[in-house]
Amino acid sequence: MESKRSKYILIGLSVFCILLIGISSVNDGFLAPLRNGVGYVLTPIQSGVNRAGSAAYEKLRNYSNLQDALQENEELKSQVAALTEENGRLQQEQFELDRLRSLYGLDQEYMQYQKVGARVIAKDSGDWFQIFRIDKGSNDGIRKDMNVIAGGGLVGIVTDVGANYATVRSIIDDSSEVYSMAMQSGVNCVVEGDLTLYKEGRLRLTHIPLEGDVKEGDRIVTSNISSVFLPGLFIGYAADISIDNNRVTRSGYLIPAAQFDTLQEVLVITDLKSELSENGETAPAEGETAGEGAEDGTSEGTAPEDGTGSAETAADASGDTAEDAGSTSAGTEGEA
């Protein structure tokens, strides 16, 4: 029964459509009101559907673009992190290369001496490397009283040696005294360590003879009369030279060549002053005999205040006192 009714409805609708087609083909104006009425009803609906569809499409497209952007952003972040890490590594390698080039230049400057390169592995508390430890020791030929250079000049001297490490006392330490001289004139003087003064980047330069030719900017190097420091090692530049209150000597300041806040690599000169002196390779000036300094090897005794010299009792004429940390030897010093 239901199928017959559906068949009749389908036939009726088909006939109605055929009639409409026939009428529209004969007289198009007959259906104009119907089309207009349908248009008034369907146009807003179609516009709304189009707007909703467009909005949905835009949202879907924006969501897809957002996901792509987020993924690309994560990839870019990973690339930036990798590039930042690589840049830091390259900068570190460049800094290390610059330091090693500086050490190589220093090695070439003092080709007459044998040297061993070493890395700084520890230091005493504080801002500067006044006492520090290196990663080379007796197994590498390091011995007490060997000179240490870096950063363009003298750094200090080895005071203690283990199998695979050594301790270095730098020239800025309060107990350090280095017999030195002005390279231009050969006038003797003393470089004294002073941690408080080094806050200003300077050390003391004392015991300059009143008539000695030492002036602002002169290059100061280690002197031949030094008992433990090899001669001719660059220390720094003289500054602010003035007459002392005793009117007999002059004093001033020294700007050290080495930087004692960033030491990382050093060169240890494996030639000992005492051995070279015994072999006649380095001889003190005429009338002067090198004297041993303080226990740690960085202080060479107190220089004469009046610039005329002082006599000390010799503890070991052979010069082997560098092997005894507690010994104090000296010789007769000439005029400063």
User: From CA 188, how far away is CA 223, in angstroms rounded?
Assistant: 7
| Counts of helices then strands in the chain (DSSP H, E) | 4, 12
Please give the model's pTM, rounded to 2 decimal places.
0.60
Q: Place 268 in a pLDDT band, splitting at 50, 70 and 90.
A: very high
Fold type of domain 115-323: Thrombin, subunit H (2.40.10)
Mean pLDDT across the stretch 305-316? Answer: 36
**Closest Cα to residue 146, out of 190, 114, 100?**
114
The pLDDT score that the predictor gives to residue 43 is 73
**DSSP-based helix, strand, coil % in the chain, nearest 5:** 35, 25, 40
The pLDDT score that the predictor gives to residue 26 is 59
Strands (E), 7-151: 115-123, 131-134, 147-150
Q: Place 68 in a pLDDT band, splitting at 50, 70 and 90.
A: confident
Tell me what percent of the residues of the chain surpass a pLDDT of 70.
74
pLDDT at 315 over 50: no
Q: Tokens 């010299």: give the residue.
A: 309
